[in-house]
Amino acid sequence: MLKSYVSLFIPIVAAGFLYASCQNKGIYDPSIEPNTAPAEQIVQGDAGNVTATEYAAVKCSSFISGNEAGKAFDGSTSSFWQSQNSSPQWINIDFGYSRDFNQVKIFWGSSFAKKFTINISSDGSTWTTVYTGGATKYGWQVITLSQTMKWARYAGVYCYDRSQNWGNQIIELKVVNASYYSYYTDPATGKKYASNTADISVLVNKDRNLSSTYVPSDLSVPNVTFAISEYAEKKNMRREAGSALEKMFLAAQASGLTLVAVSGYRSYATQQTIFNNKVSLVGFTNAVKVSAQPGQSEHQTGLAMDVSCWSQGAQLTTAVGDTPEGKWLAQNAKDYGFIIRYQLGKETITGYSYEPWHVRYVGVTHAKAIAAGNLTLEEYLYRIANN
């Protein structure tokens, strides 16, 4: 169970004694010291919640932001912080805007914490503990979190219990992105395979594959209007995506429109059959523009659904985008966590022709950000990882 982190920051002693007890031996880059932060900003230091002005004076802990924080992201090399002879300690990274991540790497110096927590925050004031553990040796400690931390702007490590941790030292802290870089390369084929398949922000395209054995663990049939009445594999979606689809269909219905679900989850084998059939009809070169090769279909994630309307006979054609239902979908899908995955004019980025019927679930926060920037999922995830 995740718990609030705020309660951990309890003032230890009077400020005068605290200042005298601080023996921080250095922040490598003076530009990242917090003394330029707004005075009203609340940050976490040795003595609990303090203002930025007090924080700058105490300097028993560290805080980085902006470009310097970017060096700590996605495993880039950055030796930016070192503290000796002061404990408890708190290091807080402000990414500048929200990101997703699922792994934290800490390089411990000659002294290391017997007990510490990793914490996240979206606003810098309310913190949630996502990991509790201890360091046992000098060097790197790689921590894979139990779930992807979604849309967190701040990450922090807190080393506590002065009697156990006196002299603990963090030399480097890195946070590894789960949204874009989470993949592995098959040495035999050179193909890249998504390794964060459980994440709703997983990227699947012509450059990011799913294995032939991947099947989402939580598939179920959402309670929406389907083009066919009998059960079929393609009626399934991952549970979170299906629940969001139900809400979206009800909202459209409240607006006097009926959306029709056509095709959701497809297994690797099903996609193989669909692609082979398309190749036999139009040839390979034309087939890859409109149909995914097996392992490269979003439908295999269980996060996509093809949506049409009765006026189009529940068919999947570009004309869907010109119907009242298609226009409503394009305008409102983001409010329910969906994006129009293959946009008009973005074919060179997505690798596929315009599909106004193909909606992909990414969660409301991501969907709204993607829509606001008129971005594809590729552009959005790349921006998160690199800006």
Catalytic (active-site) positions: 355
Q: What's the longest Cα–Cα distance across the chain?
A: 80
Angle made by CA atoms 383, 292, 366, in degrees to the nearest 5: 30
Alpha-carbon distance of 320 to 308, in angstroms, equals 6
CB atoms within 10 A of CB 217: 9
Angle made by CA atoms 380, 363, 4, in degrees to the nearest 5: 105
Q: Among candidates 187, 228, 215, which has minimal Cα distance to 315?
A: 228
Axis crossing angle, helix 364-372 with helix 377-386, rounded to the nearest 10: 100
Q: Which amino acid is at 24?
A: N
Alpha-carbon distance of 67 to 79, in angstroms, equals 14
Task: Confirm if 196 and 182 have CB atoms less than 8 A apart.
Answer: yes
93 membership: H or E segment, kind and range? strand 89-108
- 């699922």: which residue's tokens? 102
